[in-house]
Amino acid sequence: MSKKINYYNILIKRRLKALKEYLYLLKQNKLTFSAFIIILFLIIIAIIAPIIVPFPSHIYGAVNPQDKLLSPSWTYLFGTDEMGRDLFSRVLYGTRISLLGSLIAVAMGLLIGVPLGLMAGFYGGFIDEFIMRIVDMFLSFPPLLLAMAIAAFLGASLQNAIIALIISWWPWYTRLIRGQVVSIKEREFVRAAHAIGTPSWQIMYKHILPNCISPVIVQASMDLGGIILTLAALSFLGIGAQAPIPEWGLIVNTSRTYFLKAWWYGIFPGMAIFITVLCFNLLGDGLREVLDPKTKKY
Amino acid sequence: MLSFITRRLLLGILTIFGVILITFILVRVVPSDPAAQWVGGRATPQQVAAAREELGLDKPIYVQFEHYIKDLLKGNLGYSLMTHQPVVEELKKRFPATLELVFISCIIALLIGIPLGLISAKDKNSWIDHFSRFFSIGAISIPTFWLALVLQLIFFMILGLLPSGGQLSMKIKLFQNVPHITGFIFLDSLITGNFAILKDFLKHLILPAICVGAYTIGLVARMTRSALLEILSEDYIKAARSYGLPERLILYSYALKNSLGPTITAVTLAMGYALMNTFLVESVFSWPGIGKYIADAVVCLDYPAIMGVTIFAACAYILLNLIADIIISLDPRVKL
Amino acid sequence: MSNYFEIKDLKINFETSEGIKNVININELNLYKGETFGIVGESGSGKSVLAMSILRILPSPPAFIKSGKIMFKGKNLLELKEKEIQKIRGKEISMIFQDPMSTLNPVFTVGQQIMNVIRHNKHLNKEDAEKEALRMIKLVKLPDAKNTLYKYPNELSGGQRQRIIIAIALSCGAELLIADEPTRNLDVTIQAGILKLIDELRKELGITVLFIANNVNLVFIVSGRVAVLYKGKIIEVGTSQEIKREPIHPYTRRLLGITPVDREISNLIEPDFKKEISLDDFACSYFCKCEERMEICKKDFPILTKIGNTHWVNCHRVINREVNNESASISH
């Protein structure tokens, strides 16, 4: 009994040591690390937004006609829109929508795509063919097009846009994982596990999955940014979030009518999108440097 | 080799069929009634019923699908609800403008992106590497539609250097005879030697091209860099160095030839993304292409138009990938 | 004669995630013209690093040559500029590697690869280069030379590929050939053919061969003189007969499968995660695994000491013995 505890102790210690090493490597790249910090900052903002927002009533509906289309000032940091609403509050609140929306989309995409990819790669044969043909069909659409079509047909709303994104994104993960599984499947330790009689699902999830998770992590972290971008694009086109939801892309779209009179209107939400997506991409890129065995230095 | 092409072609056709199926299913999910859409807001129920019959929507699903396929094979994509013109005609009218935009943007993107990735990989961890990596990641993070607005703000409103939209300025359109040989303004003006039109066209082209190309520059630079880095770490590069071959020869002759596959993939992906970017950019710059068409269509819920563009774009993309696969298969390493 | 090729006080460090590691620390290594000199060591002993450092093709982060000299025909290779060392690569010193498949560029034909090197190094035109290429292919005893020129690497067998690589390496008149585990990825039967070829070419062309491997018996058969490398340090050097007959260093004895029967096998010290003992804490790098270690081995660095005409050993037992005036041979 004490031997077992010892084993887990050492295992935990080793895992912690590995984690420490990853953090150390991450810290080395100052750019990635700063991006990581900014993302943490954004997450915190998103969580405490309802508390720190200066004009909570302006987020959705309240109309404040006398203050409409004011340029940035100390009261209204980002200026106001055509209904007199404080843009700073709206953009702040939009952080919640974008971050939460992209988290849900990526998480659901992984939940659908990863098991399918594992099954396709592991079982091979007809299951593999079937799943991969469907994946090919989905991936033969240029990016964004399928999401646009689905969102347009389902009806324009934030929820439908997220659903459209989930449907468009899961095939990427399936293809990614399947490729990894196929190459890992042939390795000795998988055959050994099979020979001892480990049940298939255990082989898939406890043996194979941990070995091919790194590219998926890298891809998913960059996708968090990419989905925010796509979601904003869908809202910009009018088939995503609808008024009065303060989604960043939608705010940019609404700003187009008042473009000549109020330059600040569209600039700030777009800047928010840019910075957020930039940080996710930097993080994903940095993670790739750390996790990818090929680029590892000796 | 031939059998590879036929196999790939069949696969392509199968994929196109899948695409058609998916789009057909999408249309059936529509919550609103296309028939009511067609006749407009203030129609009587009889008119709506008549429209439904005319559009064939009262028949069972598989019959509708059959009609759909038959129509497609005849080249009939239905009628655009916005303009009441055949969708095919609309596409034919607008496609050249988009093609020109995409094509020129991609060429610029490749001319900038590939050398950037090359230098980045060659001098890994130098200041130019760090700069180009940051620049590439920035380029793929920037929201295209926002970039369009920002550029329009700076160059049109504040600086007044460039026009706000359209392909040609009113002056040219009214007073000059725009040549129409290929349908592509760039080529036509070049062929006829009409440099005034060409200059005007380029002035209108530059901002949309930057917006469409921004993402692709970043993408191409990143893909080129990673492909080249992987090649440069291979043993045969190490061996070539040990034989005394100079770095320049190794890079441009050895490494580049090995990067054909990833480069073609990058180009294909770039064109796909560029096409998607036109959807976002064309309406901002009033560029008369299919991007603006579909941007208007999704707002007006013009389903035939959306479908038509979707199928068209998907088929174009599949064809592009097919060509790319065939080129890649010329690589002697690929065992057919 | 010993000034043909000489390594002096070479120290090479690596930057790793755990800090700076010393990978090569060689006081002295000489090559005589025309001999086959073998270096034997286990994986991780630094053999490939040493080989690549001679031609300066070590990837410079993470490797750094801290100090030392590599003298070849009077010139210090480590001080040459890039253009000058390029003149030496392929034309005076050449290298062949372990994996014949990955050493050849898969998208060029074999003929193109040989001719590229010949054309660039010898400045010949296309026809002359082709003639030279054919001559080299015949020299490495490949049949059907003309057709082989047009084959891609994946159309040849492992042994054939390795012969092509030898052809490329020797095509421009190199007089020192560094062979870094050239037969490791080949079948045993093919190995013999390649080794025989290398030896024949050595005699025919008058070249010097530096043969690096981790297969002990192979190295001793092939080489005239041998150096044993352990963790970047040379711990024993001598002719292959000398060392085989009388290996002094405990590691060499282990390698050759000779362990003293009448000594008790004391506890080997393994790296301990709990107490975080690093293997570099002791003066002699072989301390932890050495069955004959003494107290002095912990603190004092042993130095390369001459015990025979051509036999040098890096071990305190030898120095001790000399000091205590014992007889030259150790009784097992």
Q: What are phi and psi of C230, to 5 degrees?
A: -130, 120
pLDDT tens digits along C45-59? 888 889 989 988 888
Give how far A297 is from chain C: nearest CA, Å: 7
Q: How many residues does chain B have?
A: 336
| Chain C: residue whose CA lies nearest to B233 | C59
Contacts of C117 in chain B (CB under 8 A): 243-245
CA distance C73 to C6: 9
**Cβ–Cβ below 8 Å for B143 and A294:** no
DSSP assignment of A97-110, as one string? Answer: HHHHHHHHHHHHHH
Contact C62 A24 (CB under 8 A): no
How far apart (Å, rounded) are the C-alpha atoms in residues B53 and B57? 6
**DSSP secondary structure string for all residues of A126-195:** HHHHHHHHHHHHHHTSPTTHHHHHHHHHH-SSHHHHHHHHHHHHHHHHHHHHHHHHHHHHTSHHHHHHHH
Which of B126, B129, B236, B333 is most worth mutating to test chain C (most C CB atoms within 10 A of its CB)?
B236
* Omega within 30 of 0 (cis) for the link into A244: yes
Least CB–CB distance from B254: residue in C99, C105, C154 = C105
Residue of C15, C16, C17 best to disrupt the A interface, most CBs of A under 10 A: C17
**Helix A209-237 crosses helix A87-123 at what angle (to 10 degrees)?**
140
3-state secondary structure at position B10: helix
Pair A70, A258: CB distance under 8 Å: no
Q: Find the DSSP H helices in A186-262.
A: 188-196, 200-202, 209-237, 248-255
Say whether C14 and A24 touch across the interface (CB within 8 A): no
DSSP string, C272-300: -TTTT--GGGSSSTTGGG-TT--HHHHHS
Q: Under DSSP, is residue C256 helix (H, G, I), strand (E, B) or coil?
A: coil
Contact A141 B317 (CB under 8 A): yes
Task: Answer whether C94 sits within 8 Å of B242, measured CB to CB.
Answer: yes
CB-based contact, A298 to chain C, within 8 Å = yes
Test mutation, B242, B264, B331, chain C, max C CBs within 10 A: B242
> Quick one: CA dihedral B12, B13, B19, B22, positive or negative?
negative
Query: Is some CB atom of chain A closer than 8 A to the CB atom of B15?
Result: yes
Whether chain C has a CB inside 8 Å of the CB on B329: the answer is no
* pLDDT given for residue C30 in this prediction: 87
Q: Which of B32, B11, B24, B129 is nearest to B69 (CA)?
A: B24
Calpha distance A288→A282 (Å, rounded): 10
Q: How would you classify the pairing of strands C176-180 and C208-213?
A: parallel
- C232 versus C273: the higher-pLDDT residue is C232
Q: What is the CATH number of domain C5-230?
A: 3.40.50.300
Instruction: Calculate ∠ Cα A233-A238-A240, nearest 5°.
Output: 65
**B175: distance to nearest CA of chain A, Å?**
29
Using the structure block, give the residue that is written with the tokens 């900052």.
Answer: A41
Q: Is A124 exposed, middle or buried (0-12, 13-18, 19+ CB in 10 A)?
A: middle
What is the ipTM metric for this complex? 0.84
Residues of C in contact with A297 (CB under 8 A): 15-16, 61-62
Classify C248 as helix, strand or coil: coil
Chain A residues in contact with B303 by the CB 8 A cut-off are 152-153
Least CA distance to C116: which residue of chain B? B245
Inter-chain contacts counted by CB atoms under 8 A, chains B and C: 75
- pLDDT tens for A266-279 read 888 999 999 999 99
Strands (E), B68-178: none
When scoring C58, C89, C107, C177 by the number of chain B Cβ atoms within 10 A, the one with the most, hence best to mutate, is C107
Q: What is the pLDDT of residue B52?
A: 66
Q: CA dihedral in degrees (C49, C54, C59, C63; nearest 10)?
A: 60
Per-10-residue mean pLDDT for chain B, 336 residues long?
A: 78 82 74 60 68 65 74 72 79 87 91 90 83 91 92 83 75 70 74 79 88 92 89 87 86 82 86 89 87 85 82 87 82 56
Label residue A100 by pLDDT band (50, 70, 90).
very high
DSSP track, B252-314: IIIIHHHTHHHHHHHHHHHHHHHHHHHHHHTTTTT--SHHHHHHHHHHHT-HHHHHHHHHHHH
Chain B: list its partners (3+ Cβ pairs within 8 Å): A, C
Binary contact (B141, A232; C-beta < 8 A): no
At A40-82, the pLDDT tens digits run 999 998 888 888 877 777 777 667 677 677 777 787 788 888 8
Please report residues of A whose CB lies closer than 8 A to that of B233.
294
Distance from C-alpha of A264 to C-alpha of A268, rounded to nearest angstrom? 6
Position C269 pLDDT exceeds 60: no
- The amino acid present at B304, given as its one-letter code, is P
Cβ neighbours of A298 in C, within 8 Å: 14, 16, 62
C177, C96 Cβ separation under 8 angstroms: yes
Is the pLDDT assigned to residue C266 strictly greater than 50? no
Contact A29/A289 with Cβ under 8 angstroms? yes
- On the question of pLDDT at C225 being above 80, the answer is yes
Which pLDDT belongs to residue B53?
67
Checking B166-170 for CB contacts under 8 A at 24+ apart, the result is B166/B204, B166/B285, B166/B286, B166/B287, B166/B288, B167/B97, B167/B201, B167/B204, B167/B205, B167/B287, B167/B288, B168/B197, B168/B200, B168/B201, B168/B204, B169/B200, B169/B204
C-alpha span between B34 and A175 (Å, rounded)? 36
Chain C residue with minimal CA distance to A297?
Answer: C62
Q: d(Cα B161, Cα B155) in Å, to the nearest integer? A: 5
Q: Are B98 and B289 in contact (CB under 8 A)?
A: yes
Give the pLDDT of residue C1.
46
Q: Shortest CB distance from B272 goes to which of A137, A142, A281?
A: A142
* Residue C39 backbone class (left: φ over 0; alpha: ψ -120 to 50; beta: rest): beta
**Contact between chains at C15 and A297 (C-beta distance less than 8 A):** yes
pLDDT value, residue A277: 94
Across A204-220, average pLDDT? 84
Instruction: Give the model confidence (pLDDT) of A112-130 as tens digits.
Output: 999 999 888 888 889 898 9
* Residue of B149, B229, B234, B282 to mutate for A, most A C-beta atoms under 10 A: B149
Using alpha carbons, select from A34, A100, A78, A29 the residue that is nearest to residue A275.
A34
Closest-CA distance of chain B to residue C160, Å: 16
The Cα of C193 is separated from the nearest Cα of chain B by a number of Å equal to: 22
Query: Which domains does chain A carry?
Result: 23-55+88-295 (1.10.3720.10)
CATH 3.40.50.300 positions along chain C are 5-230
CA torsion through residues C316, C317, C323, C329, sign = negative
Pick the residue from chain A with its C-alpha nearest to B293: A237
* Non-local CB neighbours of B315 within 8 Å, separated by 6+ positions: B16, B19
**Per-range mean pLDDT, top range of C14-18, C101-105, C312-316:** C101-105
Please report all neighbours of A, defined by 3+ CB atom pairs within 8 A. Answer: B, C
Mean pLDDT (chain A) is: 84
Q: Cβ of B280 and A237 within 8 Å? A: yes
Residue A13: count other Cβ atoms within 10 Å of its Cβ.
12
Question: For A162-194, how does the pLDDT look when each residue is reduced to its tens digit (9 = 90+)?
Answer: 999 999 999 999 999 998 888 888 777 777 887
More confident residue, C11 or A199: C11
Residue C283 has pLDDT above 70, yes or no: no
Residue A149: which of B23, B138, B317 has the nearest Cβ? B23
Between CA C139 and CA C133 the distance in angstroms is 10
Q: What is the pLDDT of residues A277-291, one digit of tens each?
A: 999 999 888 888 777
Q: What is the DSSP string of C74-140?
A: TEEGGGS-HHHHHHHBTTTEEEE-S-HHHHS-TTS-HHHHHHHHHHHHH---HHHHHHHHHHHHHHT
Chain C nearest-CA distance from A170, in A, is 35
| A139: CB partners within 8 A, 6+ apart | A171, A172, A175
Distance CA C252, CA A47 (A): 65
The three-state DSSP-derived secondary structure of C211-224 is EEECCHHHHHHHCC
Contact between chains at C17 and A21 (C-beta distance less than 8 A): yes
Amino acid at C50: L
The distance of A150 to chain B (nearest Cα, Å) reads 7
Is the pLDDT at C273 greater than 80, yes or no?
Answer: no
Set of chain A residues whose Cβ sits within 8 Å of the Cβ of B124: none
B31 — contact with chain A (CB < 8 Å)?
yes
- Chain A CB contacts of B284 under 8 Å are 256
Question: Cβ of C87 and B244 within 8 Å?
Answer: yes
User: How many whole angstroms from its chain centre is CA A146?
Assistant: 18
How high is the pLDDT of residue C281?
57
Query: Residues C132-140: contacts with CB within 8 Å, 24+ apart?
Result: C132/C171, C133/C167, C133/C171, C136/C167, C136/C168, C136/C170, C136/C171, C137/C164, C137/C167, C139/C167, C139/C170, C139/C201, C140/C164, C140/C166, C140/C167, C140/C197, C140/C201
Question: Average pLDDT of C282-304?
Answer: 69
The predicted structure's pLDDT at residue A266: 85
Q: Nearest CA of chain B to the CA of C97: how many Å?
A: 8
Closest residue of chain B to C56, computed from CA coordinates: B242
